[in-house]
Amino acid sequence: MANLTTPYLFSIFTNEYYRDMEIPDDRIDTVVNNTVSLIEQKCNRVFGQATYKMWLDGSGENYLALPQYPITRIFRASTNSVDVLRINAASLQHASVDSNGASVELTQINTTGIVVQTDFKVSTYANVSSLSDAINALTDWTGTVQGSYDDALTQLIKPSYGEDALDNDYAMLQVPYDTVGVRISSESNYHIELKNGCFPCGHSNVFVWWTAGYVLAQDNDQHSALTVTGNVPGGLTLVCNQIVKDILDQEQEDVNMTEEKLGDYSYVRNNILSAIDRRWKDLSSYANKVI
């Protein structure tokens, strides 16, 4: 039997129930994985534990809602930024810079009208100094470190898109500056509180680096016991298993039959989305609370 380690879905429930129906394990895996993906899209959340580095909009209050939760750890929070790398290409007719947290991408149009894009991944160029050297190695491009920020981490560069990098409109990359003291709100699992003052109002002006999500259950290879218990809410586990069961129960039916009506009896074959919608009243309580 395949080892299902999918978030908050117990393979003990699904595999044991469907073993006698002779549904292949790979088919169960596919249904479970697709269902989990669609449930997370519908709820606008990631339920498993993950680490996030995001620039969020300041609230003007002493608290701030984070888009992924439950919050388990705060690594850093900052309410301002500093310039660390100036990028320009004075001799080009078009030059722009994008940064998305994973890479910094330079875009130009050469003399023959062809678009040329060069991607610098932060996993390769870990600090501003190495990124600057790589940019300076390109023809027509210049990267100038600002001040003494050679060691600034590229993985913390603030996202920006389509910034002009011509002579008079150079692009400037920024990272968080200073650290502010925050704590996880005692009344919520998705709010942080600033110990002193308020988060200033603004667009993408607050940087937060945090870990959020549930510990996911995992079963053994024999599907006879859990090797990791996890802490996913029981109600969420139940409704997700119910959705999977709704889909797998149809595996023995004619796949060409979508609906039928016999007298007062009618039946419509569910797909994954319709099964989720049918359980939405219960599932919606776990949807993203952050608007």
Within-domain flag for 149: yes
Within-domain flag for 226: no
Express each pLDDT in 38-68 by its tens digit.
899 999 999 989 999 999 999 899 999 999 9
| One domain for residues 165 and 99 | yes
| One domain for residues 88 and 162 | yes
| One domain for residues 59 and 144 | no
Within-domain flag for 257: yes
CB 8 within 8 A of CB 218: no
| One domain for residues 142 and 152 | yes
The boundaries of the domain holding residue 163 are 81-176
Within-domain flag for 227: no
Within-domain flag for 16: yes
Burial of residue 173, with CB atoms counted within 10 A of its CB: 0-12 exposed, 13-18 middle, 19 or more buried: buried
Which of 44-53, 229-238, 244-253 has the highest mean predicted lDDT (pLDDT)? 44-53
Within-domain flag for 270: yes
Q: Give the chain's domain count.
A: 3
Express each pLDDT in 161-209 by its tens digit.
999 998 777 999 999 999 999 999 988 999 999 988 999 999 999 999 9
Listed residue (114, 82, 109) closest to 165, CA to CA: 109
| One domain for residues 239 and 119 | no
